[in-house]
Amino acid sequence: MALAGGMVAPIEVKVVRTHPDAALPVRGSEYAAGWDIRAVERTVVEFRSSTMVPTGLKVAIPVGYEGQIRARSSLGRKGLILPHSIGTIDADYRGELFVLMTWIGEGSSYTIEKGERIAQMVIAPIPPSEFTEVDLESLGDTERGEGGFGSTGRF
């Protein structure tokens, strides 16, 4: 729903703290796309291993949307990454939010401190979609064709 000035009406995302020290998601600036998610406890991520970092939060993403869990660029710069790139929180998931993280930086491990911002959540619309099986010619031709994995150039 559009508001005056092209702004969009907020979408209500219900959230429950399952831990007394859990922090509600907050935006770092007025126009930030993502809401910062914090670790609810100190967690050590060993080199080249993936660790589920608890947040102490449960959410109810509205039907027609998804919650995208994305890496914070400041942690990625250090070597702490999300191994699956973007995690999806479906509208029907009601469990605790965990952020899957992998340490690929210098040293044998990275310690995430309690309260540290570890990821950001973006709420994104998911349009209703249907898959229709067709024959190959019905897909149509494009200039790119079957080129993938870097076929569109380096820059």
Tens-level pLDDT at each residue, the chain (155 residues): 556 666 778 999 999 999 999 999 999 999 999 999 999 999 999 999 999 999 999 999 999 999 999 998 888 888 999 988 899 999 999 999 999 999 999 999 999 999 999 999 999 999 999 999 999 999 998 887 777 776 666 55
pLDDT at 151: 66
Domains in the chain: boundaries: 10-127
pLDDT at 45: 96
pLDDT at 4: 67
Q: CA-CA distance, 155 to 146, in Å (whole number)?
A: 19
pLDDT at 14: 98
Domain 10-127: CATH superfamily is Deoxyuridine triphosphatase (dUTPase) (2.70.40.10)
Q: CA-CA distance, 114 to 153, in Å (whole number)?
A: 42
Q: What residues contact 46, with CB distance under 8 A and at least 6 apart? A: 103, 108, 109
For residue 112, how many other CB atoms are within 10 A of its CB? 22
CA 95 and chain centroid, separation: 16
| CA distances in angstroms from 113 to 39, 49, 116, 123, 147, listed in the order given | 7, 18, 5, 26, 43
Under DSSP, is residue 136 helix (H, G, I), strand (E, B) or coil? Answer: helix
pLDDT at 155: 57
- The answer to whether 89 and 66 are in contact (CB under 8 A) is yes
- The answer to whether 28 and 90 are in contact (CB under 8 A) is no
Q: CA-CA distance, 99 to 120, in Å (whole number)?
A: 10
pLDDT at 154: 59
pLDDT at 7: 72
Question: pTM for the whole thing?
Answer: 0.83
